[in-house]
Amino acid sequence: MIRARVGILGVGNRGATAYGRYMLRRPDLAEVVAMADPRQDRLAAAAADHGVAEAHLYADWKTLLRREDGLDAVIIALPDRLHHQAAMLAMRQGVAILLEKPIGNSQAEIRALRAAARRWGADVTVAHVLRYTPFFARIRDLLQRGAIGTLQTVRHTEQIGYWHFAHSYVRGNWRRAEEASPMILSKACHDLDILRWLVDSPCTHVDSVGRLGHFTREHAPEGSTERCDQGCAVERSCPYSAPRIYLERLPPADAWPHDVVSLDTSAAGIAAALHTGPYGRCVYRCDNDVMDHQSVSLRFANGVTATLNVSAFTEKSTRTVHLMGSHGEIFGDFEAGTITVGDFRINDTRTSSLALPPDAVHGGGDDQLMADFLGRVLDRKRRGNSPDALTSLEESLESHDMAFAAERSRRAGERVVLARRRTVADAG
């Protein structure tokens, strides 16, 4: 049996859970033969799942890349600040790369990676999983078939969810831009990429506003404490209470987000981790600095306009999209899996629902991404070539350019022009 030999750099939620578990379910496609992570407890747990020998476990990802011969592919799921450096080294090794977003934390890193990939002919797939979901694939198909005429404008909203934002962007790994990246990049480059894909044209102009409006010390309620379990007077009424989120709203389970809080995902294990770890801190007393809401206005070269709103302050954790065309409109709710198409020509509106497995992550996109990535790795191994990825590196880099432009616009309070080309909108 020909299988892809894969190394995983970073065995956290994405590396070990999203991608690693897919390979456990599909041993016919791939085997994990090496792993790297500085956290020995997580490394040992992931190695036990995959049966990776101790000789192929590394605290340092650089050592793995330099010592492991015969790898067909690597999955880079390290902290954001290491993505660029790891990708550059992996490209030199000549292996196929599945790279978690963001690609890099600065435009200088983006330019360097783009140049290196062209020079070496590297096979880099960026984990923009939304393109692989049945939800967005169906919407794109509807657009390409002219179901709503010619697309004119899009309103896209990412509802992060109040508890999700508190977990990842106040208490968690993405709370500080200098350690990870700006929220519009770390969270919403998925959304900017999907807008680029649906509009099917380069972005030319970007305007953005946003702020860190709530998760600061000045908004800490009277009687609150540094940690939620230190006798906080408002803990029972605070929606951001760590015990309420991890022990009540989301009952402990061997899955995200609990497996990020603690490897012991029992109620006792989670409670112990909240008592001492970062996820038990008061959301008003953390060291976070990323925006908790941001809006971006976009113009594309084909004249289509779009708005993207990203907010922490929602009950649901979903994405909604409204696409308006010359002869109809499409409404979609990502988590609900519903797509409503209105056709002005025949005065008709129809709603369809996508059937996905209850355990599908990212709307089924993670599994489809891995199937595509490993399939192309195996094609190259068997025949010496493979088809292009659905998430081409060049288009993925465009979404990052859009995110950096949004940050420049937000900071400067002015429009950023990405490409000085004559557009339909300019002509009007």
d(CA 358, CA 361) in angstroms, rounded, equals 9
What percentage of the chain's residues is helix, strand, coil (to nearest 5)?
40, 20, 40
pTM of the model: 0.90
Q: In this structure, what token pair is assigned to residue 344?
A: 């002005």
CA 106 to chain centre: 17
CA–CA distances in Å: residue 376 to residues 31, 379, 382: 15, 5, 10
Backbone angles phi, psi at 153, to 5 degrees: -155, 155
| Predicted pLDDT of residue 426 | 39
Structurally, at CATH architecture level, domain 4-126 sits in 3-Layer(aba) Sandwich (3.40)
Q: Structural domain boundaries of the chain?
A: 4-126, 131-215+289-360+397-427, 217-280
| Predicted pLDDT of residue 384 | 74
| Predicted pLDDT of residue 422 | 39
Given a cut of 50, the residues of the chain with pLDDT beneath it are: 421-428
Residues in the chain: 428
| Predicted pLDDT of residue 105 | 87
| Predicted pLDDT of residue 357 | 67
Place of tokens 């987000």: 257
Fold of 131-215+289-360+397-427: Dihydrodipicolinate Reductase; domain 2 (3.30.360)
Of 334, 366, 372, 328, nearest in space to 350 by CA: 328
